[in-house]
């Protein structure tokens, strides 16, 4: 450092030594000015994020449709992949009551003078589906975090196309035992891509749409399942009187019709902007948002809104990081602090689907046959059942406009409990007409399920996690469902099969007990999330608001003072430097 001296012009003999250079003061002033500029921009950014969040919260349905039609379209394209899973899983369960299939893959039982696929093989194949999905979900979390949703789904569809060959090839094997073994292997393999579809399509739907469209696009995932089930039931109904090999080969081969067109659609779709912001790719996130937005009377400039939405995503991630004092997004983080509560609720919501009688719908055709209906009438009832499922899902959209997610889910469970108790009671009757009552009640059960917990579950699971842990939390929740599915797939065939426990409709008593206890759990732990943005949900969970108080608690999102205190000058500077990339892109 060079020492500077200043001479007093009035007293020239007096010379003052200055220990600090004059240039340092100028430099300090420059640094302060630069820091003030960063703080000013941070305040603008946080205010913009708060305004964007408020506008999203109060956006009307008409405005949402006009502003985000492309987002809705791309979400529908990706969710359509789940039609394949609904088709395939319903196909194999319905095949157990299909004469041509049981003759090919089953064994002859003299006591009933009929062919049946042995119970242990029904159980094994059903378990194989769930085991494959558990593995697929785990792999989906790793791949999606590294390469994004689109590339991960495309790779899954390529793998699925190859794995379908194994299932189809099993129909050419003469020995029933070997044919069953190859079929089992095929279902393990095809279920791995299904695990990818289960989580990424839901995460994508939640992340690209505004709050007002979230309920529709997340519950559409449930509709895709029902679409697949309806298609497979309709195809099987057309072949039910046939004894030729085509009766099961053609339904197997139809699975190849799906992957290629869906693959093309996913290739053309934009990547999730939330994933891009998490990876620090702000320019790409803004570009993705401009592809999802449509200019209209409510949105004169989509570039401005895209920039504001990127700012809100940045602030959401940063606020989450500051509160949790960590920047990681591992599976272990899902079980820490307030994230554990969110993970628990998501897992329980999806578990409830599996243990409250849903397996009766999966085995509906076989259930109807064992309950006393003819094979033709059983397949007809299955088609009616899935049509009612579609109507129920659409009905949930209208119902959700009037009441909240919790109310639909909780009271749906109560209604299902009542129906299951009545079904079990009819199962104890020796009246031959009781089978018609059982069949009719199962149709009502399907409608209630798809009006309430069936579709609403998907919306709740997507809303529970933080942005950083959304995909991993959904994976954990779905794997909870799949593990429960392994258990139900073990016991359901034994409950229904006449060569095993032969409970038939009395199975309703068993599932009604679980419905009762799940309803109690929901009352105490499931919060109301209707009309809550992701930022608001973060605050409600972080501050430990009780479940029954979520609905009325007022929150203040993006608390600027608190964030500035936790970030410090260096944190604000780093955040603004990164954000300037988006602003400069907009000006260019």
From first to last of the 588 residues of the chain, give the pLDDT tens digit.
Answer: 445 544 555 555 555 454 455 455 555 556 567 677 777 777 777 777 788 888 888 889 999 999 999 999 999 999 999 998 888 888 887 787 777 888 888 888 887 777 888 878 888 887 888 889 999 999 998 999 999 999 999 999 999 999 999 999 988 888 888 989 999 999 999 999 999 998 999 999 999 999 999 999 999 988 898 888 888 888 887 887 777 788 888 988 999 988 999 999 999 999 999 999 988 898 999 999 999 999 888 887 888 888 888 888 888 888 777 776 666 778 888 998 889 999 999 999 999 998 998 877 766 666 667 666 777 777 777 788 888 888 999 999 999 989 999 999 999 999 999 999 998 888 787 777 777 777 788 888 889 999 999 999 999 999 999 988 999 999 999 999 989 988 887 887 777 666 667 677 788 899 999 999 999 999 999 999 999 999 899 999 988 999 999 999 998 887 777 677 666 777 777 666 666 655 555 555
Summarize pLDDT for 462-518 with one digit per residue, the tens.
Answer: 999 998 899 999 999 999 998 998 888 788 777 766 666 767 778 889 999 999 999
What single string gives the DSSP state of each residue in 22-35? HHHHHHHHHHHHHH
Q: Which of 92, 362, 86, 392 is nearest to 228 (CA)?
A: 86
CA distance 162 to 77: 21
Q: Kindly give, in sequence order, each residue whose CB lies less than 8 Å from that of residue 588, ignoring residues fewer than 6 positions away.
A: none
Which sequence spans correspond to the domains of the chain?
59-269+326-526
Please give the Cα distance from 167 to 145 (Å, whole number).
30
Phi and psi at residue 18, to the nearest 5°: -105, 120
Name the nearest CA neighbour of 137 among 537, 483, 586, 387: 483
To the nearest whole percent, how much of the chain has pLDDT over 70? Answer: 86
In this prediction the pTM is 0.84
Angle at the Cα of 248 (from 243 to 253), degrees rounded to 5? 145
* Number of CB atoms found within 10 A of residue 378's CB: 24
Torsion angles phi and psi, residue 299, rounded to 5: -140, 90
CATH class as words, domain 59-269+326-526? mainly alpha
- Is residue 154 within a helix (H) or strand (E), and if so which, with residue range? helix 149-170
Give the Cα separation of 216 and 212 in Å (integer).
8
């Amino acid at each position: 450092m060079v020492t500077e001296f200043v001479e007093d012009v009035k007293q020239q003999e007096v010379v003052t030594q200055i220990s600090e250079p004059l240039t340092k003061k100028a430099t300090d002033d420059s640094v302060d000015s630069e820091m003030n500029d960063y703080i000013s921009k941070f305040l603008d950014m946080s205010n913009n994020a708060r305004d964007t969040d408020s506008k999203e919260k109060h956006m009307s349905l008409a405005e949402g449709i006009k502003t985000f039609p492309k987002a809705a379209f791309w979400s529908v394209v990706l969710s359509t992949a789940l039609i394949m899973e609904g088709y395939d899983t319903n196909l194999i369960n319905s095949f157990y009551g299909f004469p041509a299939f049981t003759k090919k893959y089953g064994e002859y039982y003299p006591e009933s003078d009929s062919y049946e696929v042995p119970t242990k093989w029904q159980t094994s194949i059903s378990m194989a589906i769930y085991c494959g999905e558990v593995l697929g979900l785990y792999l989906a979390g790793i791949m999606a975090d590294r390469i994004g949703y689109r590339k991960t789904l495309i790779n899954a569809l390529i793998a699925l196309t190859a794995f379908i060959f194994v299932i189809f090839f099993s129909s050419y094997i003469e020995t029933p035992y070997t044919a069953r073994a190859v079929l089992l292997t095929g279902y393990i393999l095809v279920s791995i891509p299904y695990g990818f579809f289960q989580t990424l399509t839901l995460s994508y739907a939640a992340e690209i749409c505004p709050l007002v469209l979230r309920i529709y696009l997340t519950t559409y995932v449930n509709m895709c399942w029902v679409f697949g089930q309806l298609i497979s039931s309709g195809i099987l109904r057309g072949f039910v009187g046939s004894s030729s090999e085509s009766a099961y080969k053609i339904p197997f081969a139809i699975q190849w019709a799906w992957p290629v067109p869906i693959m093309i659609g996913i290739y053309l779709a934009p990547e999730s902007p939330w994933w891009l912001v998490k990876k620090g790719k702000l320019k790409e996130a803004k570009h993705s948002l401009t592809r999802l937005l449509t200019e209209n009377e409510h949105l004169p400039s989509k570039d401005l809104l895209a920039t504001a939405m990127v700012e809100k995503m940045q602030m959401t991630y940063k606020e989450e990081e500051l509160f949790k004092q960590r920047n990681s997004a591992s599976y272990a983080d899902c079980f820490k602090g307030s994230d554990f509560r969110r993970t628990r609720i998501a897992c329980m919501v999806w578990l409830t689907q599996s243990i409250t009688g849903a397996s009766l719908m999966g085995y509906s055709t076989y259930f109807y046959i064992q309950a006393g209906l003819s094979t033709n009438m059983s397949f007809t009832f299955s088609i009616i059942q899935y049509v009612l499922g579609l109507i129920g899902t659409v009905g949930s959209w209208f119902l959700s406009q009037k009441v909240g997610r919790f109310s639909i889910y909780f009271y749906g469970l109560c209604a299902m409990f009542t129906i299951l108790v009545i079904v079990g009671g009819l199962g104890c009757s020796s009246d031959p007409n009781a089978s018609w009552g059982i069949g009719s009640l199962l149709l009502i059960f399907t409608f209630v399920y798809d009006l309430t917990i069936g579709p609403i579950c998907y919306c709740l699971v997507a809303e529970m996690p933080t942005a950083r842990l959304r995909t991993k939390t959904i994976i954990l929740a779905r794997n909870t469902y799949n593990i429960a599915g392994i258990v139900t797939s073990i016991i359901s065939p034994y409950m229904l099969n006449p060569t095993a426990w032969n409970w038939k409709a009395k199975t309703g008593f068993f599932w009604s007990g679980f419905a009762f206890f799940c309803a109690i759990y929901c009352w105490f732990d499931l919060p109301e999330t209707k009309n809550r943005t992701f930022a608001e949900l973060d605050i409600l969970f972080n501050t430990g608001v009780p479940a029954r108080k979520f609905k009325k608690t007022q929150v203040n999102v993006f608390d600027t003072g608190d964030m500035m205190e936790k970030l410090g000058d260096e944190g604000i500077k780093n955040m603004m430097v990164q954000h300037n990339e988006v602003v400069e892109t907009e000006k260019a």
